[in-house]
Protein backbone atom coordinates (compact mmCIF):
# COMPACT_ATOMS: atom_id res chain seq x y z
CA UNK A 1 0.00 0.00 0.00
CA UNK A 2 1.36 3.43 -0.92
CA UNK A 3 1.73 6.47 1.31
CA UNK A 4 -0.88 8.35 -0.69
CA UNK A 5 -2.84 7.06 -3.65
CA UNK A 6 -2.02 8.90 -6.87
CA UNK A 7 -3.82 9.48 -10.15
CA UNK A 8 -2.32 6.27 -11.58
CA UNK A 9 -4.10 4.30 -8.89
CA UNK A 10 -7.22 6.38 -9.44
CA UNK A 11 -7.30 5.23 -13.04
CA UNK A 12 -7.32 1.59 -11.92
CA UNK A 13 -10.09 2.24 -9.36
CA UNK A 14 -12.19 4.20 -11.84
CA UNK A 15 -11.73 1.55 -14.56
CA UNK A 16 -13.01 -1.13 -12.18
CA UNK A 17 -15.78 1.18 -10.95
CA UNK A 18 -17.07 1.76 -14.47
CA UNK A 19 -17.19 -1.97 -15.11
CA UNK A 20 -19.11 -2.54 -11.87
CA UNK A 21 -21.47 0.34 -12.59
CA UNK A 22 -22.10 -0.85 -16.12
CA UNK A 23 -22.89 -4.42 -15.04
CA UNK A 24 -25.25 -3.08 -12.35
CA UNK A 25 -26.86 -0.76 -14.87
CA UNK A 26 -27.60 -3.72 -17.14
CA UNK A 27 -29.43 -5.36 -14.26
CA UNK A 28 -26.77 -7.85 -13.15
CA UNK A 29 -25.92 -8.66 -9.56
CA UNK A 30 -22.28 -7.85 -8.83
CA UNK A 31 -19.97 -9.10 -6.11
CA UNK A 32 -16.98 -6.79 -6.10
CA UNK A 33 -13.94 -7.58 -3.96
CA UNK A 34 -11.05 -5.19 -3.46
CA UNK A 35 -8.39 -6.43 -1.08
CA UNK A 36 -5.96 -4.58 1.14
CA UNK A 37 -2.33 -5.61 1.39
CA UNK A 38 -1.83 -4.59 4.99
CA UNK A 39 1.53 -6.28 5.39
CA UNK A 40 4.50 -6.13 3.02
CA UNK A 41 8.18 -5.15 2.93
CA UNK A 42 7.48 -1.48 2.23
CA UNK A 43 4.99 -1.14 5.05
CA UNK A 44 7.31 -2.86 7.50
CA UNK A 45 10.09 -0.41 6.58
CA UNK A 46 7.86 2.64 6.79
CA UNK A 47 6.33 1.64 10.11
CA UNK A 48 9.83 1.16 11.51
CA UNK A 49 10.91 4.59 10.17
CA UNK A 50 7.92 6.23 11.84
CA UNK A 51 8.26 4.22 15.03
CA UNK A 52 4.70 2.84 14.83
CA UNK A 53 3.30 -0.66 14.36
CA UNK A 54 2.48 -1.97 10.89
CA UNK A 55 -1.14 -2.36 12.05
CA UNK A 56 -1.33 1.33 13.05
CA UNK A 57 0.21 2.34 9.73
CA UNK A 58 -2.26 0.14 7.83
CA UNK A 59 -5.21 1.63 9.73
CA UNK A 60 -4.13 5.15 8.83
CA UNK A 61 -3.43 4.25 5.19
CA UNK A 62 -6.76 2.51 4.74
CA UNK A 63 -8.62 5.54 6.09
CA UNK A 64 -6.70 7.82 3.70
CA UNK A 65 -7.38 5.42 0.86
CA UNK A 66 -11.12 5.44 1.56
CA UNK A 67 -11.14 9.23 1.52
CA UNK A 68 -9.32 9.18 -1.83
CA UNK A 69 -11.67 6.74 -3.57
CA UNK A 70 -14.63 8.74 -2.28
CA UNK A 71 -13.12 11.83 -3.89
CA UNK A 72 -13.33 10.15 -7.30
CA UNK A 73 -16.83 8.80 -6.70
CA UNK A 74 -16.11 5.05 -6.67
CA UNK A 75 -18.82 2.74 -5.37
CA UNK A 76 -17.85 0.80 -2.24
CA UNK A 77 -16.92 -2.85 -2.92
CA UNK A 78 -19.05 -5.71 -1.60
CA UNK A 79 -16.05 -7.01 0.38
CA UNK A 80 -12.80 -5.32 1.33
CA UNK A 81 -10.77 -8.09 2.92
CA UNK A 82 -7.44 -7.41 4.58
CA UNK A 83 -4.54 -9.82 4.15
CA UNK A 84 -3.72 -10.04 7.86
CA UNK A 85 -7.28 -11.14 8.64
CA UNK A 86 -7.04 -14.10 6.27
CA UNK A 87 -3.75 -15.73 7.25
CA UNK A 88 -5.49 -19.07 7.91
CA UNK A 89 -6.71 -19.26 4.29
CA UNK A 90 -3.22 -18.51 3.03
CA UNK A 91 -1.67 -21.20 5.21
CA UNK A 92 -4.26 -23.70 3.94
CA UNK A 93 -3.37 -22.93 0.33
CA UNK A 94 0.37 -23.09 1.06
CA UNK A 95 -0.06 -26.44 2.83
CA UNK A 96 -1.94 -27.86 -0.15
CA UNK A 97 0.71 -26.66 -2.59
CA UNK A 98 3.52 -28.12 -0.45
CA UNK A 99 1.64 -31.43 -0.09
CA UNK A 100 1.30 -31.66 -3.88
CA UNK A 101 4.98 -30.96 -4.38
CA UNK A 102 4.32 -27.68 -6.17
CA UNK A 103 5.87 -25.70 -3.34
CA UNK A 104 8.70 -26.40 -0.89
CA UNK A 105 9.83 -25.09 2.48
CA UNK A 106 13.39 -23.88 3.02
CA UNK A 107 15.52 -24.10 6.19
CA UNK A 108 14.82 -20.45 7.18
CA UNK A 109 11.09 -21.19 7.44
CA UNK A 110 10.05 -19.76 4.06
CA UNK A 111 7.95 -21.54 1.45
CA UNK A 112 8.59 -21.14 -2.26
CA UNK A 113 6.48 -21.94 -5.29
CA UNK A 114 8.22 -24.18 -7.84
CA UNK A 115 7.44 -22.33 -11.07
CA UNK A 116 8.80 -25.17 -13.23
CA UNK A 117 6.08 -27.40 -11.83
CA UNK A 118 3.36 -25.22 -13.33
CA UNK A 119 3.27 -25.62 -17.09
CA UNK A 120 1.11 -22.54 -17.60
CA UNK A 121 3.61 -20.17 -15.99
CA UNK A 122 3.91 -17.11 -18.24
CA UNK A 123 0.64 -17.60 -20.11
CA UNK A 124 -0.89 -14.31 -18.97
CA UNK A 125 2.12 -12.13 -19.73
CA UNK A 126 3.10 -14.26 -22.76
CA UNK A 127 6.63 -14.74 -21.46
CA UNK A 128 8.83 -17.77 -21.47
CA UNK A 129 10.60 -18.64 -18.26
CA UNK A 130 13.97 -18.31 -20.00
CA UNK A 131 13.23 -14.67 -20.87
CA UNK A 132 12.05 -13.62 -17.42
CA UNK A 133 14.21 -11.40 -15.35
CA UNK A 134 15.01 -12.42 -11.83
CA UNK A 135 15.63 -10.19 -8.82
CA UNK A 136 19.11 -9.10 -7.85
CA UNK A 137 19.08 -10.69 -4.42
CA UNK A 138 18.31 -14.35 -4.83
CA UNK A 139 17.74 -16.45 -1.74
CA UNK A 140 20.35 -19.23 -2.06
CA UNK A 141 17.79 -21.67 -0.62
CA UNK A 142 15.66 -21.31 -3.77
CA UNK A 143 15.80 -24.26 -6.15
CA UNK A 144 15.33 -21.93 -9.12
CA UNK A 145 15.82 -18.15 -9.24
CA UNK A 146 12.30 -17.77 -10.70
CA UNK A 147 10.61 -19.43 -7.72
CA UNK A 148 8.64 -16.96 -5.63
CA UNK A 149 7.78 -16.81 -1.93
CA UNK A 150 4.41 -17.98 -0.68
CA UNK A 151 5.51 -17.56 2.90
CA UNK A 152 8.44 -15.63 4.33
CA UNK A 153 10.27 -16.93 7.40
CA UNK A 154 10.37 -14.49 10.32
CA UNK A 155 13.03 -11.79 10.41
CA UNK A 156 13.83 -9.93 13.64
CA UNK A 157 11.46 -7.05 14.38
CA UNK A 158 8.81 -8.06 11.81
CA UNK A 159 5.20 -8.95 12.61
CA UNK A 160 4.81 -12.72 12.37
CA UNK A 161 2.18 -15.44 12.44
CA UNK A 162 2.60 -19.09 13.39
CA UNK A 163 2.76 -21.60 10.54
CA UNK A 164 3.68 -25.27 10.02
CA UNK A 165 7.11 -23.97 8.91
CA UNK A 166 7.65 -21.72 11.91
CA UNK A 167 6.78 -18.07 12.48
CA UNK A 168 6.59 -15.89 9.38
CA UNK A 169 4.33 -13.80 7.19
CA UNK A 170 2.60 -14.26 3.85
CA UNK A 171 4.12 -13.27 0.52
CA UNK A 172 2.22 -10.61 -1.42
CA UNK A 173 0.87 -12.80 -4.22
CA UNK A 174 -0.60 -15.39 -1.90
CA UNK A 175 -3.23 -13.14 -0.33
CA UNK A 176 -5.01 -12.52 -3.63
CA UNK A 177 -5.30 -16.20 -4.52
CA UNK A 178 -6.53 -17.13 -1.05
CA UNK A 179 -9.01 -14.30 -0.63
CA UNK A 180 -10.45 -14.34 -4.15
CA UNK A 181 -11.22 -18.07 -3.86
CA UNK A 182 -12.83 -17.43 -0.47
CA UNK A 183 -15.07 -14.53 -1.50
CA UNK A 184 -15.71 -15.33 -5.15
CA UNK A 185 -15.01 -19.02 -5.70
CA UNK A 186 -12.91 -20.34 -8.55
CA UNK A 187 -13.13 -19.54 -11.36
CA UNK A 188 -14.58 -16.09 -10.81
CA UNK A 189 -15.67 -13.87 -13.66
CA UNK A 190 -13.34 -10.90 -13.92
CA UNK A 191 -9.97 -10.04 -12.39
CA UNK A 192 -8.81 -6.46 -12.81
CA UNK A 193 -5.77 -4.36 -12.12
CA UNK A 194 -3.16 -2.10 -13.64
CA UNK A 195 -1.06 -3.47 -16.50
CA UNK A 196 2.02 -3.15 -14.26
CA UNK A 197 0.63 -6.05 -12.21
CA UNK A 198 0.47 -8.56 -15.07
CA UNK A 199 3.97 -9.80 -14.32
CA UNK A 200 4.90 -11.10 -11.88
CA UNK A 201 1.93 -10.50 -9.57
CA UNK A 202 -0.99 -11.81 -11.61
CA UNK A 203 1.13 -14.49 -13.21
CA UNK A 204 1.97 -15.73 -9.71
CA UNK A 205 -1.65 -15.58 -8.60
CA UNK A 206 -2.55 -17.83 -11.54
CA UNK A 207 0.26 -20.25 -10.67
CA UNK A 208 -0.82 -20.54 -7.02
CA UNK A 209 -4.51 -20.89 -7.81
CA UNK A 210 -4.31 -23.16 -10.83
CA UNK A 211 -1.41 -25.47 -9.98
CA UNK A 212 -3.61 -27.93 -8.14
CA UNK A 213 -7.04 -26.88 -9.43
CA UNK A 214 -8.64 -28.06 -12.63
CA UNK A 215 -10.26 -24.69 -13.33
CA UNK A 216 -8.77 -21.27 -14.09
CA UNK A 217 -8.45 -18.56 -11.46
CA UNK A 218 -10.53 -16.06 -13.44
CA UNK A 219 -12.37 -16.25 -16.74
CA UNK A 220 -11.45 -12.76 -17.85
CA UNK A 221 -8.56 -10.41 -17.07
CA UNK A 222 -9.05 -6.67 -17.42
CA UNK A 223 -5.90 -4.55 -17.22
CA UNK A 224 -5.84 -0.79 -17.44
CA UNK A 225 -2.97 1.16 -18.99
CA UNK A 226 -0.51 3.34 -17.11
CA UNK A 227 -0.38 7.12 -16.86
CA UNK A 228 2.44 9.06 -18.47
CA UNK A 229 3.48 12.71 -18.28
CA UNK A 230 4.59 13.48 -21.81
CA UNK A 231 7.28 10.91 -22.55
CA UNK A 232 7.92 10.24 -18.85
CA UNK A 233 6.43 7.54 -16.71
CA UNK A 234 4.86 8.79 -13.52
CA UNK A 235 7.36 7.94 -10.80
CA UNK A 236 8.47 9.15 -7.42
CA UNK A 237 12.05 9.59 -8.64
CA UNK A 238 10.93 12.01 -11.38
CA UNK A 239 8.83 13.91 -8.86
CA UNK A 240 5.80 13.92 -11.16
CA UNK A 241 3.48 11.88 -8.96
CA UNK A 242 0.16 13.65 -8.61
CA UNK A 243 -1.88 12.44 -5.65
CA UNK A 244 -5.65 12.06 -5.84
CA UNK A 245 -5.92 14.56 -3.01
CA UNK A 246 -3.91 17.19 -4.92
CA UNK A 247 -5.77 16.58 -8.18
CA UNK A 248 -9.18 16.82 -6.53
CA UNK A 249 -8.17 19.97 -4.65
CA UNK A 250 -7.65 21.53 -8.07
CA UNK A 251 -10.70 20.12 -9.86
CA UNK A 252 -13.81 18.09 -8.93
CA UNK A 253 -13.28 14.32 -8.76
CA UNK A 254 -15.68 13.87 -11.67
CA UNK A 255 -13.33 15.91 -13.85
CA UNK A 256 -10.60 13.38 -13.19
CA UNK A 257 -13.00 10.63 -14.33
CA UNK A 258 -13.81 12.61 -17.47
CA UNK A 259 -10.11 12.95 -18.24
CA UNK A 260 -9.67 9.18 -17.86
CA UNK A 261 -12.58 8.40 -20.19
CA UNK A 262 -10.97 10.34 -23.02
CA UNK A 263 -8.53 7.43 -23.50
CA UNK A 264 -9.49 3.76 -23.78
CA UNK A 265 -8.83 2.13 -20.41
CA UNK A 266 -6.33 -0.32 -21.90
CA UNK A 267 -4.18 2.37 -23.56
CA UNK A 268 -1.55 4.51 -21.82
CA UNK A 269 -2.95 7.87 -20.82
CA UNK A 270 -0.95 11.06 -21.18
CA UNK A 271 -1.57 13.37 -18.25
CA UNK A 272 -0.14 16.45 -19.95
CA UNK A 273 -0.25 19.97 -18.51
CA UNK A 274 -3.65 21.60 -18.60
CA UNK A 275 -5.56 18.37 -19.16
CA UNK A 276 -7.15 18.40 -15.71
CA UNK A 277 -8.38 21.95 -16.16
CA UNK A 278 -9.62 21.11 -19.66
CA UNK A 279 -11.59 18.18 -18.23
CA UNK A 280 -12.99 20.42 -15.49
CA UNK A 281 -14.21 22.87 -18.11
CA UNK A 282 -15.92 20.06 -20.09
CA UNK A 283 -17.57 18.86 -16.91
CA UNK A 284 -18.87 22.37 -16.23
CA UNK A 285 -20.36 22.48 -19.74
CA UNK A 286 -22.25 19.29 -18.96
CA UNK A 287 -23.52 20.59 -15.64
CA UNK A 288 -24.48 23.91 -17.23
CA UNK A 289 -26.68 22.07 -19.72
CA UNK A 290 -28.25 19.99 -16.95
CA UNK A 291 -28.91 23.18 -14.98
CA UNK A 292 -30.64 24.70 -18.00
CA UNK A 293 -32.88 21.64 -18.28
CA UNK A 294 -33.65 21.89 -14.56
CA UNK A 295 -34.57 25.55 -15.00
CA UNK A 296 -36.89 24.66 -17.85
CA UNK A 297 -38.45 21.84 -15.82
CA UNK A 298 -38.76 24.02 -12.73
CA UNK A 299 -37.09 21.39 -10.58
CA UNK A 300 -33.81 19.54 -10.26
CA UNK A 301 -33.80 15.87 -11.21
CA UNK A 302 -32.02 13.82 -8.55
CA UNK A 303 -29.13 11.60 -9.61
CA UNK A 304 -30.05 7.93 -9.97
CA UNK A 305 -28.10 4.89 -8.76
CA UNK A 306 -26.47 2.73 -11.46
CA UNK A 307 -28.50 -0.41 -10.63
CA UNK A 308 -31.01 -0.91 -13.44
CA UNK A 309 -30.18 2.41 -15.12
CA UNK A 310 -29.91 0.68 -18.50
CA UNK A 311 -32.74 -1.84 -18.27
CA UNK A 312 -36.21 -1.84 -19.77
CA UNK A 313 -37.05 -0.07 -22.99
CA UNK A 314 -34.16 2.25 -23.80
CA UNK A 315 -34.11 5.48 -25.77
CA UNK A 316 -32.13 5.41 -29.05
CA UNK A 317 -29.33 7.31 -27.28
CA UNK A 318 -29.15 4.80 -24.43
CA UNK A 319 -29.26 1.88 -26.89
CA UNK A 320 -26.23 3.29 -28.65
CA UNK A 321 -24.53 4.16 -25.37
CA UNK A 322 -25.00 0.59 -24.12
CA UNK A 323 -23.76 -0.92 -27.40
CA UNK A 324 -20.65 1.25 -27.12
CA UNK A 325 -20.00 0.16 -23.55
CA UNK A 326 -20.58 -3.46 -24.60
CA UNK A 327 -17.63 -3.03 -26.94
CA UNK A 328 -14.91 -3.48 -24.29
CA UNK A 329 -16.18 -0.53 -22.24
CA UNK A 330 -15.40 2.03 -24.90
CA UNK A 331 -15.96 4.99 -22.60
CA UNK A 332 -14.11 7.35 -24.95
CA UNK A 333 -16.71 6.75 -27.64
CA UNK A 334 -19.52 6.74 -25.07
CA UNK A 335 -18.34 10.14 -23.89
CA UNK A 336 -18.54 11.39 -27.47
CA UNK A 337 -22.19 10.30 -27.51
CA UNK A 338 -22.75 12.10 -24.20
CA UNK A 339 -21.39 15.35 -25.65
CA UNK A 340 -23.57 14.93 -28.77
CA UNK A 341 -26.58 14.57 -26.48
CA UNK A 342 -25.40 17.61 -24.51
CA UNK A 343 -25.53 19.70 -27.69
CA UNK A 344 -29.04 18.42 -28.39
CA UNK A 345 -30.04 19.28 -24.84
CA UNK A 346 -28.75 22.82 -25.30
CA UNK A 347 -30.65 23.11 -28.58
CA UNK A 348 -33.90 21.92 -27.02
CA UNK A 349 -33.38 24.37 -24.14
CA UNK A 350 -32.80 27.18 -26.67
CA UNK A 351 -36.11 26.21 -28.28
CA UNK A 352 -37.78 25.92 -24.84
CA UNK A 353 -38.89 22.42 -25.85
CA UNK A 354 -39.54 21.18 -22.35
CA UNK A 355 -40.34 17.54 -23.07
CA UNK A 356 -37.41 17.05 -25.45
CA UNK A 357 -35.12 18.71 -22.90
CA UNK A 358 -36.36 16.41 -20.15
CA UNK A 359 -35.84 13.35 -22.34
CA UNK A 360 -32.26 14.42 -23.04
CA UNK A 361 -31.78 15.21 -19.35
CA UNK A 362 -32.96 11.71 -18.44
CA UNK A 363 -30.61 10.14 -20.99
CA UNK A 364 -27.65 12.05 -19.57
CA UNK A 365 -28.62 11.18 -16.01
CA UNK A 366 -28.62 7.47 -16.85
CA UNK A 367 -25.33 7.65 -18.74
CA UNK A 368 -23.94 9.59 -15.77
CA UNK A 369 -24.96 6.81 -13.39
CA UNK A 370 -22.83 4.41 -15.46
CA UNK A 371 -19.88 6.76 -15.80
CA UNK A 372 -20.01 8.00 -12.21
CA UNK A 373 -20.84 11.56 -13.32
CA UNK A 374 -23.50 14.11 -12.30
CA UNK A 375 -23.73 12.97 -8.69
CA UNK A 376 -24.25 16.56 -7.63
CA UNK A 377 -27.21 18.86 -8.14
CA UNK A 378 -26.23 21.06 -11.14
CA UNK A 379 -26.94 24.34 -9.36
CA UNK A 380 -24.81 23.35 -6.37
CA UNK A 381 -22.05 22.04 -8.61
CA UNK A 382 -21.91 25.27 -10.61
CA UNK A 383 -21.89 27.35 -7.42
CA UNK A 384 -18.93 25.35 -6.16
CA UNK A 385 -17.14 25.69 -9.51
CA UNK A 386 -17.71 29.44 -9.40
CA UNK A 387 -16.28 29.76 -5.93
CA UNK A 388 -13.26 27.66 -6.88
CA UNK A 389 -12.67 29.97 -9.86
CA UNK A 390 -13.27 32.99 -7.65
CA UNK A 391 -10.68 31.77 -5.18
CA UNK A 392 -8.21 31.49 -8.03
CA UNK A 393 -9.18 34.95 -9.31
CA UNK A 394 -9.09 36.44 -5.81
CA UNK A 395 -12.36 38.34 -6.38
CA UNK A 396 -15.46 38.40 -4.22
CA UNK A 397 -18.91 37.95 -5.73
CA UNK A 398 -19.68 41.57 -4.85
CA UNK A 399 -16.59 42.73 -6.76
CA UNK A 400 -17.53 40.68 -9.81
CA UNK A 401 -21.13 41.92 -9.71
CA UNK A 402 -19.94 45.51 -9.31
CA UNK A 403 -17.73 45.06 -12.39
CA UNK A 404 -20.68 43.63 -14.34
CA UNK A 405 -22.86 46.58 -13.29
CA UNK A 406 -20.15 49.04 -14.35
CA UNK A 407 -19.91 47.29 -17.69
CA UNK A 408 -23.68 47.45 -18.16
CA UNK A 409 -23.60 51.18 -17.39
CA UNK A 410 -20.89 51.63 -19.99
CA UNK A 411 -22.92 49.71 -22.54
CA UNK A 412 -25.99 51.85 -21.84
CA UNK A 413 -23.83 54.91 -22.42
CA UNK A 414 -22.72 53.19 -25.62
CA UNK A 415 -19.14 53.39 -24.35
CA UNK A 416 -18.32 49.98 -25.75
CA UNK A 417 -14.60 50.48 -25.38
CA UNK A 418 -14.97 50.90 -21.57
CA UNK A 419 -17.35 47.92 -21.46
CA UNK A 420 -14.86 45.78 -23.36
CA UNK A 421 -12.03 46.85 -21.07
CA UNK A 422 -13.99 45.68 -18.01
CA UNK A 423 -14.82 42.39 -19.66
CA UNK A 424 -11.20 41.87 -20.70
CA UNK A 425 -9.85 42.67 -17.24
CA UNK A 426 -12.19 40.07 -15.71
CA UNK A 427 -11.19 37.56 -18.36
CA UNK A 428 -7.52 38.02 -17.46
CA UNK A 429 -8.46 37.18 -13.88
CA UNK A 430 -10.23 34.02 -15.00
CA UNK A 431 -13.80 35.30 -14.85
CA UNK A 432 -15.76 34.94 -18.10
CA UNK A 433 -18.93 36.90 -18.87
CA UNK A 434 -21.75 35.72 -21.07
CA UNK A 435 -24.64 37.90 -22.16
CA UNK A 436 -27.77 35.82 -21.90
CA UNK A 437 -31.31 37.05 -22.72
CA UNK A 438 -32.00 37.31 -18.97
CA UNK A 439 -28.85 39.36 -18.26
CA UNK A 440 -25.11 38.90 -17.92
CA UNK A 441 -23.93 35.72 -16.22
CA UNK A 442 -20.40 34.92 -15.17
CA UNK A 443 -18.39 31.82 -14.71
CA UNK A 444 -14.84 30.96 -13.78
CA UNK A 445 -12.94 30.00 -16.92
ZN1 LIG B 1 -3.46 -9.23 -6.45
- Name the region of 308 (left: φ>0; alpha: ψ -120 to 50; beta: rest): left
The structural domains of the chain, with segments of one domain joined by +, span 86-216, 394-444
Task: Tell me how far apart the alpha carbons of residues 122 and 135 are, in angstroms, rounded to a whole number.
Answer: 17
DSSP state of 391: H
How confident is the prediction for the chain on average, in pLDDT? Answer: 92
In angstroms, the CA 97 to CA 210 distance is: 10
Ligand 1: centre distance to CA 232 (Å):
26
Residues of the chain with pLDDT under 50: 1
Q: Locate all alpha helices (DSSP H) within 263-305, ordered by sequence.
A: 275-297
Cα(284) to centroid(ligand 1), Å: 36
Q: Residue 3: what pLDDT? A: 59
How far apart are the CA of 71 and the centre of ligand 1, in A?
Answer: 23
| Cα 208 to ligand 1 centroid, rounded to whole Å | 12
Facing residues of 223 across strands? 193
Q: What is the pLDDT of residue 432?
A: 85
Q: Residue 46: is it exposed, middle or buried by C-beta count within 10 angstroms (0-12/13-18/19+)?
A: middle
Cα 203 to middle of ligand 1, angstroms = 10
Task: Supply the CATH classification number for the domain 86-216.
Answer: 3.40.50.620
- CA–centroid distance, residue 202 to ligand 1 (Å): 6
Q: Compute the Cα dihedral for 304, 18, 27, 325 and give only its sign.
A: positive
Q: How many angstroms separate the alpha carbon of residue 404 from the centre of ligand 1?
A: 56
**pLDDT at residue number 133:** 76
Torsion angles phi and psi, residue 188, rounded to 5:
-105, 175
In angstroms, what is the span from residue 443 Cα to ligand 1's centroid? 44
How remote is the C-alpha of 78 from its chain's centroid? 16
Collect residues with CB below 5 Å from ion ligand 1: 176
Rounded to 5°, angle at Cα 250 from 248 and 256? 50
How close is the Cα of 201 to the center of ligand 1, in Å? Answer: 6
Ligand 1 centroid to Cα of residue 15, in Å, is: 16
Q: What pLDDT, on the 0 to 100 scale, is given for residue 273? A: 78
Instruction: Tell me the per-residue pLDDT of 176-218, one tens digit each, with 9 for 90 and over.
Output: 999 999 999 999 999 999 999 999 999 999 999 999 898 999 9
- Give alpha helix (H) positions in 26-138: 41-50, 54-71, 87-99
| Alpha carbon of 389 to ligand 1 centroid (Å) | 40
Query: Residue 326: enclosing H or E segment and its boundaries?
Result: helix 316-326
Query: Cα(358) to centroid of ligand 1, in Å?
Result: 44
Quote the ligand 1 centre to 16 CA distance (angstroms): 14
| Cβ count near 326 (within 10 Å) | 11
CB proximity list for 151: less than 8 A, separation 6 or greater: 90, 91, 94, 109, 110, 111, 163, 165, 168, 169, 170, 171, 174
Amino acid sequence: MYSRTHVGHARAFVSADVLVRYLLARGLRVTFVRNFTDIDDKMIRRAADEGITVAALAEREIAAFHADVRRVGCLPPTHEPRATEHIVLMLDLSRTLVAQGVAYPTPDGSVYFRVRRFAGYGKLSHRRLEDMEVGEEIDPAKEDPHDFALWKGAKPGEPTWESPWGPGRPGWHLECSAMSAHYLGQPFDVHGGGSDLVFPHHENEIAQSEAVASVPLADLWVHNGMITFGSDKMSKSLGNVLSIADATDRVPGEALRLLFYGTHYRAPLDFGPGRLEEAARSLERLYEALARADDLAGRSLAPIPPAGALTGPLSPFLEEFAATMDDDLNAAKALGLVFDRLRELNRTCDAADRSAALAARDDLTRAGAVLGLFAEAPAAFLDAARSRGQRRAGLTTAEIEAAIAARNDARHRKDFRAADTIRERLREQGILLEDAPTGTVWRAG
